[in-house]
Chain A
Amino acid sequence: MGRFCQGDAQAFDALFGRYARAVHAYLTRMVGNRSAAEDLTQATFLSLVRARGRFMEGARFRPWLYAIATNAARDHMRRKRPEDLTDEGDLPSSPGEAAPMPDPGLERTIQRALAQLPDAQREAIVLHRFEGMSFGEIAEALGVSESAVKVRAHRGYEKLRELLAHLREEA
């Protein structure tokens, strides 16, 4: 990161090669749309380059990168036009078409339930469960205390259970 901050293109290439796909996967889960996630991945790395002077010496790189990606996703959701949402007012529920799903119906229900969670809880759950980040790293990425992240995750998981039950009943 030190070399990248000095403008070293090779150092950037190494970071891009290591994190670009993971960031894209995270953004796909956050915004529910593969092509929007591609644009946001580019915006994330552009921000990384333009604002590398804001990286605090001694901080961890991964939480900082995910903080940028999270902000990009929040901005996208804030500016999202109503016609981009589904009829129920949710996010598009398919995060991608690649991997075979053991139960496509359940997968869709989970995506819809996740999309209905408040942003703060969804971010905590996606970073914890899908990105495998520790609560310490998530706290750094979201700029809140570790306790606050645990509360968000706990409440999010709890609410998700309710939403899943409700959506399955509906189905």
Chain B
Amino acid sequence: MTPECERVVERLGKGVLPRELSEHARTCDACTAAMASFSMLHPRPVAPPTRTALAAARADVLRELAKTPVSPPWWREAVWITLISLLFAVGGVLYTGKGWKVFNRSGADALWIVSILLIFAAAWGAFAASIPRGRIHRAGVTMFALELALAIPLAGSGLEVPLPFLKVGLGCLISEVSISIGPLVATLWLLTRSAFSAARAFMAGLSAGIAGVLALHLHCPCGTFQHLFLFHVLPWLALAALAVVIRSRLPSRTFAP
């Protein structure tokens, strides 16, 4: 589609095309077809709703309005999602680390910078999942999550644990999923307050999954790239993808964007 085609579609229904555009429309098959079908579609009035249906709808909605005189603002969901995710992360650290002990042997800088980035990703992801119009935020969170997905294994200590690779990995995988499942369920329930959007569900899944990633980041002593990527990062991304699938099957409580 050329810029001229875009100008032609803009002018549909607004009278005669200017000369340079009508020249283009004559030679462009797509524009000729578009103009022809536009003129074939006549906005014929549709049968109106029955009076009883309209009155019943109005009464029902007025009852709902009386029941909920105040509607919570959208950002409250973002705050809830972030808090729930961080609460589970703290719980996960306490449980898997048997207290506040940190077993990650990376340098202090790498340890705390990645932790702060993870907390930031949880908050930004929750915000991007909740804001009604957030295409830029959602693109930003996706880029940030991909960078984090590389940063986590790159910031690892490189330390190997003297246990079979798969055994250590499966332990981490199970811990991460168990810690993240709570925030994921809560987040998906909160998301049903708006219409299904795959991008929004993915953002919420990323945010909820941070609980498990953060707990493992502080607790897991194994610091090899393969272990961190396969058993810390991939399950996090897989949980976010799973959030999209589950949310698409849940009924929405409202259809608001």
* Chain A interface residues (CB < 8 Å from chain B): 5, 7, 9, 12-13, 16, 20-21, 24-25, 28-29, 34-35, 37-38, 41-56, 59, 64, 67-69, 71-72, 74-75, 95-99, 101-102, 106-107, 110, 125, 128-130, 132, 135, 143-144, 147, 150-151, 153-155, 157-158, 160-162, 164
Inter-subunit contact A71/B66 (CB<8 Å): no
**Known contacts A5-B71, A46-B254, A49-B68: does B132 contact A54 (CB below 8 Å)?**
yes
Residues of A contacting B38 with CB < 8 Å? 129, 157
Residues of B bordering A, CB below 8 Å: 1, 5-6, 8-10, 12-13, 30-31, 33-38, 40-50, 53-54, 56-58, 60-62, 64-66, 68-74, 76, 132-133, 135, 193-196, 252-257
Tell me if A's interface is mostly helix, strand, loop or mixed: helix
- Minimum C-beta distance from B105 to chain A (A): 45
Partner of A9 from B46, B62, B76, B135 at Cβ < 8 Å: B62
- 5 closest cross-chain pairs (CB), A and B: A96-B47, A51-B256, A53-B71, A71-B195, A98-B47
B103 nearest CB across to chain A (Å): 42
Min Cβ gap A44→B in Å is 7
For B61, list chain A residues within 8 Å (CB).
Answer: 12, 16, 42, 45-46, 48-49
A161 touches B36 (CB 8 A): yes
Out of B47, B58, B132, B252, which one reaches A20, CB within 8 Å? B58
The residue in chain A whose Cβ has the minimal distance to the Cβ of B34 is A157
Known A-B contacts A42-B61, A71-B195, A129-B41; the reply to A50 vs B9 at CB < 8 A is: no
Cβ-defined contact, A99 with B6, below 8 A: no
Task: Write the chain B residue with the least CB distance to A113.
Answer: B37
Q: Is the CB of A50 within 8 A of B46?
A: no
Determine which of A25, A28, A125 lies in contact with B41 in the assembled complex, contact meaning CB atoms within 8 Å.
Answer: A125
Please name all residues of chain A whose beta carbon is closer than 8 Å to the beta carbon of B56 when the two chains form the complex: 42
Among B6, B34, B256, which residue has its beta carbon within 8 angstroms of that of A161?
A: B34
